[in-house]
Structure 1
């Protein structure tokens, strides 16, 4: 008898009344339909993406990226002394048409300073010979880091599976799906001229539909969290667009942005930044909404007599604690990412408010604030949705 009662108390999906269940599920079905339509309408133009790629020097016909072994690394260049008298490395090509060829290549100062040594592996960029009988042109492209990255990735997967087991496996499946959406839909669609804001919203919604259900299972509890997540995505998208427009940020703050501006000048970088704000907040938004939905369900399971108003108030008390810790996570994550920029700007000796107004720091500030506001508002929205799907407490019938 007690065991049956315990099962009934925890399996609140079965107890939810028909009307709130239909409203919640119907709303998510409509959102899924809109997401699918959005993916179809915004599907990238492959020919245009290929044309942009071919126009870049890295995808020109015949360009390859062979590996080479470092034989010797010269001293870094003193201030004011240009190459080729310094900052050079002697390398031997180990694959491709130039296999076995030895040559000296110039290295960027930061690579020389990174303790590159004999025996390390680098990648070169090889341009084919301009004419028959001439040698190919080889230059430094980057340090080969495939092996340590693969080892770290394997360690990450093993730790997740060992600790989280089945739930961890499903989280990895959801993460893999997110990578597929980003690589096959979001990035190509942005390059082919799709509206960045809509691409970000549609791509984020598609990711969340799969990630939440694969990781947390099919239930009304997960559905309530998904509804709150979609609401949070919408709020963040609107706030991001308004913030970028009002602050007049260009969206170009580093060499990567400048390179993209050169190869794809038709892109709207301000809209791209608004899209980045939406995608940047997905992880913490998912964390907060699933926690809030679970908290509401557990509160009702622990106290079947509690009214929905009291469940909402208790859930919000949990949410406020979660908000505080999550905001710290966002701020410190962005601070760590922009640490080099912060150090450079610190040398300018400008007032703090003037530093916040620079393009480099302004982007991080706007990203942090817009994401955090959307995150904070997602807490009451998710809590309200979850509470609305619960059956009335016994004291509400009194």
Structure 2
């Protein structure tokens, strides 16, 4: 059944349908998010110790030689006097990180104050204060994005900031308070993809196709990751997650690892779906936002048909040449998906490089390294991500062709639309 070529209250039919889909997602997801919203209570360790953080300026810095003996990340190999912003003064211990940073008198730092239920309060170095420099870097990056990418780039940057805040307040805090990591991650993924895609790229058939393809890819990756993890009997306990096990014992770490995969895939799959949807609409000859035809028209004729028959680009002609269109779109999509596969691979390997170097230091052979929890977990994440990529590209292509035919109609209708 074809949708009538109507405009709804000033909106085109594709905008109207896109708004309806986003509205349905929000109506379904927001009540669940509000019901699961964490309490945001101050965190405390299982032994009752509470941690507070404050800014300070250092003086009387004394650093020992941390390289002389084996010292873990939490041990102190120096000390200093910290002058807090509230004018209090505390003697603090300096960790190996502070020694590597080469702390000196006058440096601004963040200190950690551990207050146990019983015993002495402990003040120690946490990190160099980097807030000002990070803000400057962000401003420079934002200016470059505005000059190079324009309005969409600025909207993408805003989406990134809002998504990061939501992930911290909802996902991270909810999991910390004992929530199911998969439920929190699935809700986060759906909401972030829905809001970010439409806020950045606008409401329309192309964005709707990208959204549907991303959801399909994330779902496929989640299913593959769950099957692979179960068959390989992965626990999810690695050097990175061991601290989380200690701090919050009721977190299902194996599920947390799968949830992390969903969040990591959002950006990668979103990149493929937006590009692939644009390819399909460009091959169909539809003009993009701002009247650009992506180079697939001749002499500004939006009805140009690359087929020698010269048949106008109507729904009937589009249906006749759909197999050719599908093949042409997949040819481009395969190149993009292939490059994304090794992009994912290199990023995953790069993130685990320190673990690989540590394994080499212990003299671990390759066959044992590949079967260790850390590396096996990395391999499963990589393979599940690739499964998601392989589903995302053809799914987005199908969605884009269907939405283009059903919601936009023919190219001729587009040129006549008011």
**Normalised TM-score (structure 1):** 0.81
TM-fit CA distance, 1:118: 3.6
SS for the counterpart of 1:141 is strand
| Contact preservation (8 Å) 1:73, 1:118 | no
Query: Which residue of structure 1 lines up, in the alignment, with residue 94 of structure 2?
Result: 107
Quickly say closer, same or farther: Cα 1:97–1:66, change in 2 above 3 A: same
Quickly say closer, same or farther: Cα 1:79–1:123, change in 2 above 3 A: same
| Contact preservation (8 Å) 2:71, 2:96 | no
Quickly say closer, same or farther: Cα 1:56–1:118, change in 2 above 3 A: farther
Matched, 1:289 2:289: no
Matched, 1:167 2:148: no
| Aligned-partner Cα distance in 2 for 1:229–1:130 | 48
| Aligned-partner Cα distance in 2 for 1:24–1:161 | 26
Please give the residue correspondences for 1:155-234 in structure 2 after superposition, counting only pairs within 5 Å: 155-234=140-219
Matched, 1:33 2:24: yes
TM-fit CA distance, 1:88: 1.0
Query: Which residue of structure 2 lines up, in the alignment, with residue 44 of structure 1?
Result: 36
TM-fit CA distance, 1:24: 11
| Contact preservation (8 Å) 1:239, 1:370 | yes
| Aligned-partner Cα distance in 2 for 1:50–1:225 | 37
| Aligned-partner Cα distance in 2 for 1:125–1:57 | 17
Of the structure 1 ranges 355-364 and 201-210, higher mean CA displacement relative to structure 2 is found in 355-364
Computed over aligned residues only, the root mean square deviation of the Cα atoms, in angstroms, reads: 3.5
**Normalised TM-score (structure 2):** 0.77
| Contact preservation (8 Å) 1:293, 1:386 | yes
| Aligned-partner Cα distance in 1 for 2:250–2:202 | 42
Matched, 1:278 2:262: yes
| Aligned-partner Cα distance in 2 for 1:22–1:238 | 34
| Contact preservation (8 Å) 1:121, 1:143 | yes
| Aligned-partner Cα distance in 2 for 1:336–1:232 | 23
Match 2:57 to one of 68, 90, 93 = 68
| Contact preservation (8 Å) 2:109, 2:129 | yes
TM-fit CA distance, 1:296: 0.5
How many residues are aligned here? 369
Query: Which residue of structure 1 lines up, in the alignment, with residue 246 of structure 2?
Result: 262
Higher helix share: 1
| Contact preservation (8 Å) 1:45, 1:192 | no
| Aligned-partner Cα distance in 2 for 1:24–1:351 | 57
| Aligned-partner Cα distance in 2 for 1:264–1:68 | 32
TM-fit CA distance, 1:390: 3.4
Please give the residue correspondences for 1:1-398 in structure 2 after superposition, counting only pairs within 5 Å: 17-18=2-3, 29=20, 33=24, 36-41=27-32, 43-44=35-36, 46-47=38-39, 50=41, 53-55=43-45, 60=50, 63-80=52-69, 87-96=77-86, 98-99=88-89, 101=90, 103=91, 105-127=92-114, 137-254=122-239, 257-301=241-285, 302=296, 303=305, 304=313, 307-391=321-405
| Aligned-partner Cα distance in 1 for 2:384–2:23 | 25
SS for the counterpart of 1:350 is coil
**Alpha-carbon displacement from aligned partner over 1:134-160 (angstroms, at most 9, x marks no partner):** 996422222222222222222221211
TM-fit CA distance, 1:191: 2.8
What are the ranges of 5 or more consecutive residues in structure 1 without an aligned counterpart? 1-15
**Alpha-carbon displacement from aligned partner over 1:86-126 (angstroms, at most 9, x marks no partner):** 82133332423524x5x3x4333343133333432222223
